[in-house]
Amino acid sequence: MGLVSLESMCRKAYENGYAVGQFNINNLEWTKSILSVAQELNSPVILGVSEGAAKYMAGYGVVTDMVKAMVKSLNITVPVALHLDHGTYEGAYKAIEAGFSSIMFDGSHYPIKENVAKTKELVETCKRLGLSLEAEVGAIGGEEDGVIGMGELADPNQCKMIADLGVTILAAGIGNIHGKYPANWKGLNFDVLQAIHAKTNGVPLVLHGGTGIPDDMVKKAISMGVSKINVNTELQLVFADATRKYIEAGKDLDGKGFDPRKLLAPGVEAMKVAVREKMALFGSVNKA
Ligand code: 13P
């Protein structure tokens, strides 16, 4: 199967009370681990690519070619979307040109009028090309590609303005942040989530910052219209942890333990475990 948009993937999730995981990729190991677990669990999956990660992987075209070739050679038959994460206006057009199947345009830092104008244009472009468009209202806090944002609670009326443009899905700040949650984090704001859901006319919602949110909060958010959950930091943490243990145990100095295929293997296995856990929590297992 080729790459698909989020349109039917997230609509199906919204109507059936589960969420599809977006797992951000950084390289071949990330991509292969996530795709193979999605296939193993018969789950739809979204591969997220930030602009920084695309640059790291030598450009949008390299990412598209790698993902498409891997889907084919690993015989992946579950629905796979290749999604730009927190795209700028310019980045959105570059990813579209390179063959991404889905775009997030993050205009949350613009005044609402400008966010509306740019999102409207990108909704039209994406619709014409059969791609999906995720928009954002109320910046998600934490760090993303070196930019630190404060956690915001999105204004439900602004969410309605953006949702009414015909976006496929909507990301709205409800107290979630990227990266590790601080010890004094107040948790997700379900009153704001409820108000946003009530105003946005059945547009599926996205929960960013999926690393470290307690399971019961994740489940509650899904029951209130969240149909896509983004996970990035968690895979980085488990990969780094497993790799550190391998090196601290001196295994890289044992025989050919320095071979990258051996050196990276514990990290790969740790990522697979994390993806399995998230897919089970989100309820997307056997929903391909
Ligand atoms: P985490 O890095 O906190 O998992 O958030 C990922 C995310 O929201 C990407 O857009």
Domains of the chain with bracketed CATH: 7-233 (3.20.20.70)
Residue 121 CA, ligand 1 centroid: distance in Å: 26
Whole-number Å distance between alpha carbons of 175 and 158: 16
Q: In what order do the strands lie in the sheet with 141-144?
A: 147-149, 141-144, 177-178
Whole-number Å distance between alpha carbons of 151 and 174: 8
Phi, psi torsion values for 206, nearest 5 degrees? -115, 135
For ligand 1, atom 1: residue with the closest CA: 209
51-73 mean pLDDT: 98
The band of 146, judged by pLDDT with boundaries at 50, 70 and 90, is low
Backbone region of residue 99 per phi and psi (left: phi > 0; alpha: psi in -120 to 50; beta: other values): left
Checking if the pLDDT of 263 tops 90, the result is yes
Percent of the chain with pLDDT over 90: 92
Residue 234 CA, ligand 1 centroid: distance in Å: 8
Checking if the pLDDT of 272 tops 60, the result is yes
User: Measured at the alpha carbon of residue 160, what is the angle toward residues 109 and 136, in degrees to the nearest 5?
Assistant: 30
85 is catalytic: yes
Surface-to-core class of residue 164, CB atoms within 10 Å of its CB (0-12 exposed, 13-18 middle, 19+ buried): middle
Query: How many other C-beta atoms can be found within 10 angstroms of the C-beta atom of residue 243?
Result: 18
Checking if the pLDDT of 162 tops 70, the result is yes
- Is the distance from the beta carbon of residue 211 to the nearest atom of ligand 1 less than 6 Å? yes
Checking if the pLDDT of 148 tops 50, the result is no
- Is the distance from the beta carbon of residue 85 to the nearest atom of ligand 1 less than 6 Å? yes
Q: At what angle do helices 156-163 and 190-199 cross, to 10 degrees?
A: 40
Beta partners for residue 35, in sequence order: none
- Is the distance from the beta carbon of residue 83 to the nearest atom of ligand 1 less than 6 Å? no
According to the model, what pLDDT value does residue 243 have? Answer: 98
Whole-number Å distance between alpha carbons of 132 and 150: 27
Residue 251 CA, ligand 1 centroid: distance in Å: 31
214-223 mean pLDDT: 98
What is the number of the ligand 1 atom nearest to the C-alpha of 142? 3
Residue from 143, 176, 230, 277 whose mutation best tests the ligand 1 pocket (most atoms within 8 A of CB): 230
According to the model, what pLDDT value does residue 252 have? Answer: 98
Question: Which of helix, strand or coil describes residue 141?
Answer: strand
According to the model, what pLDDT value does residue 170 have? Answer: 98
56-72 mean pLDDT: 98
Checking if the pLDDT of 150 tops 60, the result is no
Pairing of strands 226-231, 147-149: unpaired
Query: How many other C-beta atoms can be found within 10 angstroms of the C-beta atom of residue 52?
Result: 15
When comparing pLDDT for 253 and 138, which is higher? 253
Residue from 83, 88, 144, 217 whose mutation best tests the ligand 1 pocket (most atoms within 8 A of CB): 144
According to the model, what pLDDT value does residue 113 have? Answer: 95
